[in-house]
Structure 1
Amino acid sequence: MKSTAVTPPTRAGTVPQRRDRRDSRWDEHRRARREQLVTATVAAVGEHGPGVGMEEIAAAAGTSKTVVYRHFADRGELHLAVCARVAEQLLDALRTAMTSTDKPRQMVSAAIDTYLAFIEADPELYRFVVHAPADRDPTADPIAGLSELVGEQATALVAMALEGAGRPTAAAEPWGHGLVGLVRSAADRWLSSPDPMPRAELTAHLTDLAWAGLSGVVTRTTTEETR
């Protein structure tokens, strides 16, 4: 009788299977298509505002809602993908700004101005990002919120300032996230104002307030140690 080669079973009695190369090609196609839909969403937000509907997003992508839902389970998942792109762009800009100087106060000013410039350039996209849709599952957020990531950058900035002053960095995290809350609240009010002040002026005011608090704490604790 002619023998037949049998692939030896793996643990649990399963037979290893190779992934068809066509599957890998489809993975790349799906990834590219998702990126195209995110780009279309950004364009639709620019045209229709942060309350843009899925039909308008599909139209911007030159397709149907059915195709959009083939790649994103719901509006919440699409929102997360847009947030991830915006976060990446903003964080890149913040890192560039923060490494443009080695002076802590100038770092604070550069970071604040970069944040304000980013939202000034596309306020509708900013509003879309910071107001999550009702159907978004917060536990599925891969970036843990845009403010959270910006807060981490601010924490690193404050830690650098404290290290430069020879101070412990334990307070860097609450101060860093507090700084983000300060800037975001002021930025939201600035965007909604019918007669907003120039960005440079707002940057100067926020820098003065933030740096007065930070430098004041550093100076006070250093003085206390020398008493």
Structure 2
Amino acid sequence: MEPVTADAPAAAVAPRPDGRRTRWAEHRRARREELVTAALRAITTHGAGLGMDELAAAAGTSKTVLYRHFADKEDLYLAVARRVNRLIVRELRSAVERAGSPREALAGIVTTYLGLVEADPEVYRFVVSHPFGATARDPERDPVQRLTRALADETARTLTAHLRAAGAADSSADALAHGLVALIRSAADRWISTPGRIGAAEMSAALTDLAWGGLDAVLGATTTPTRPQTEEVP
């Protein structure tokens, strides 16, 4: 071993984390989440048509404070939409995990989606209407497109697992899942905007019958309750 001399370079020392900067970043993150929660409450109470001034007042703060934590109107909209999307996807996954057959999986997706729409229709309208002039300039950032893809991916994953367990062909599952999601979303949008609409349970049953009739005819899938070995959700 070579001796260490006085001329040997000193070992590199990793910089110590700035505790104040870390605490400030965490504070800002927590404050953003609080403001998103306040915005959701305001939308639920006062409707999807709130402007920034009305939304800030209903949330008990000022527009200036909102702009300290959100770059612009679209940034706030995207933060609200991401929160809603996470809730919907989490509830969908929970529903389909309980399904014992392809039809039950489809019914779980339809029932959960319509139930969440009915539970807070103003928040749903806020997300799907792109308020504040928010646009889909970047499809990867558009929360409505992301939600549609998440719904379709979850539907395809679930149907594929169930259809494999039932011994049916699954090569068309992804394309059919996207078609089903388009059907479900269009029906939900129209239903939630209809005066004197029927309840979510009745609508879910009718929409499930409609969707399953076509899916069963195309895939020839069995409705025998067979619990599949579901793929792990990333």
The residue number in structure 2 matching 1:223 is none
Deviation at 1:106, TM superposition (A): 1.1
Unpaired segments ≥5 residues, structure 2: 1-8, 222-234
* In the alignment, structure 1 residue 70 sits paired with structure 2 residue 71: no
Paired residues in the alignment total: 210
In structure 2, C-alpha distance between the alignment counterparts of 1:200 and 1:16, rounded to whole Å: 59
Does the Cα contact within 8 Å between 1:76 and 1:137 map onto a contact in 2?
A: no
| Secondary structure, aligned partner of 2:71 | coil
The two structures have a TM-score, normalised by structure 1, of 0.83
The residue number in structure 2 matching 1:3 is none
Q: Could you say if the C-alpha distance between residues 142 and 128 of structure 1 is closer, same or farther in structure 2, counting changes exceeding 3 Å?
A: closer
The structure richer in helix per residue is: 1
The two structures have a TM-score, normalised by structure 2, of 0.81
Question: Once the two structures are superposed, what CA deviation does each residue of 1:17-42 show, in whole Å capped at 9, x if it has no partner?
Answer: 54421000001100011001101110
Specify which structure has the bigger relative contact order, considering alpha-carbon pairs within 8 angstroms and separated by 6 or more residues: 2
In structure 1, C-alpha distance between the alignment counterparts of 2:178 and 2:27, rounded to whole Å: 38
Farther off after superposition, 151-160 or 64-73: 151-160
Q: Could you say if the C-alpha distance between residues 21 and 53 of structure 1 is closer, same or farther in structure 2, counting changes exceeding 3 Å?
A: same
In structure 2, C-alpha distance between the alignment counterparts of 1:146 and 1:138, rounded to whole Å: 16
Deviation at 1:82, TM superposition (A): 0.8
In structure 2, C-alpha distance between the alignment counterparts of 1:173 and 1:138, rounded to whole Å: 26
The residue number in structure 2 matching 1:135 is 134
The residue number in structure 1 matching 2:41 is 43
In structure 1, C-alpha distance between the alignment counterparts of 2:42 and 2:199, rounded to whole Å: 27
In structure 2, C-alpha distance between the alignment counterparts of 1:39 and 1:174, rounded to whole Å: 35
* In the alignment, structure 1 residue 204 sits paired with structure 2 residue 205: yes
Question: Once the two structures are superposed, what CA deviation does each residue of 1:28-70 show, in whole Å capped at 9, x if it has no partner?
Answer: 1000110011011101111221121111222233222111111
Deviation at 1:101, TM superposition (A): 2.2
In structure 2, C-alpha distance between the alignment counterparts of 1:159 and 1:104, rounded to whole Å: 9
CA RMSD of aligned residues (A): 2.4
Given candidates 57, 80, 83, the residue that maps to 2:81 is: 83
Q: Which amino acid aligns with 1:148?
A: R
| Secondary structure, aligned partner of 1:145 | helix
The residue number in structure 2 matching 1:153 is 154
Q: Which amino acid aligns with 1:23?
A: R
